[in-house]
Amino acid sequence: MPAGGGADSDPSATPETSPPFRTIAIVGLGLIGGSVALAARRRWQDVSIVGVDRTEILAGLHTEGVFAEVGDSLDITRGADLVVLAAPVREIIATLGRLFGLIEPSAVVTDVGSTKRAIVAAAGRDGPSLRFVGGHPLAGSVGSGFAVSTADLFTDRTWLLVPTGRGGSESVDRVSELVAGLGARPRLIDAETHDRVMAAVSHLPQVTVSALMRAVGDLAGPDGLELAGTGLLDTTRLAASPTGLWADVCATNADQLGVALDRLIETLVAIRSSLEDRQALDDVFAPAREWRRRLEQVMVQRPMPAGVRSGAC
Q: Work out the pLDDT band at 152, boundaries 50, 70, 90.
A: very high
Contact predicate 3/62, CB 8 Å = yes
Provide CB contacts within 8 A for 255, sequence distance 6+.
Answer: none
Q: Provide the residue type at 87 as one letter.
A: A
Taking the C-alpha atoms of residue 70 and residue 82, their distance in angstroms, rounded to an integer, is 16
Tally the domains of the chain.
Answer: 2
Of the candidates 144, 171, 189, which is a domain's last residue? 189
Distance of CA 294 to the CA centre of its chain: 23
Provide CB contacts within 8 A for 191, sequence distance 6+.
Answer: 116, 117, 120, 134, 162
Range of the domain at 156: 23-189
Would you state the pLDDT for residue 244? 82
CA distances for 40 relative to 43, 44, 143, 293, angstroms = 5, 6, 21, 36
pLDDT at 10 > cutoff 60: no
Of the candidates 157, 189, 221, which is a domain's last residue? 189
pLDDT, greater one: 34 or 310: 34
Domain-embedded: residue 313:
no
Beginning with the edge strand found earlier in the chain, give each strand of the sheet holding 158-163 in spatial order.
Answer: 69-71, 48-52, 23-27, 82-85, 108-111, 131-137, 158-163, 185-188
Of the candidates 189, 221, 238, which is a domain's last residue? 189
Instruction: Kindly state the average pLDDT of the residues 115-143.
Output: 87
pLDDT at 12 > cutoff 80: no
Same domain assignment for residues 51 and 174:
yes
Instruction: Kindly state the average pLDDT of the residues 211-237.
Output: 96
Same domain assignment for residues 174 and 292:
no
Q: Work out the pLDDT band at 304, boundaries 50, 70, 90.
A: low
Same domain assignment for residues 241 and 135:
no
Q: Which of 10-14, 72-76, 281-285 has the lowest mean pLDDT?
A: 10-14
> Helix, strand, coil: what percent of the chain each, to 5?
50, 15, 35
Instruction: Kindly state the average pLDDT of the residues 138-159.
Output: 88
CATH of the domain at 71: 3.40.50.720
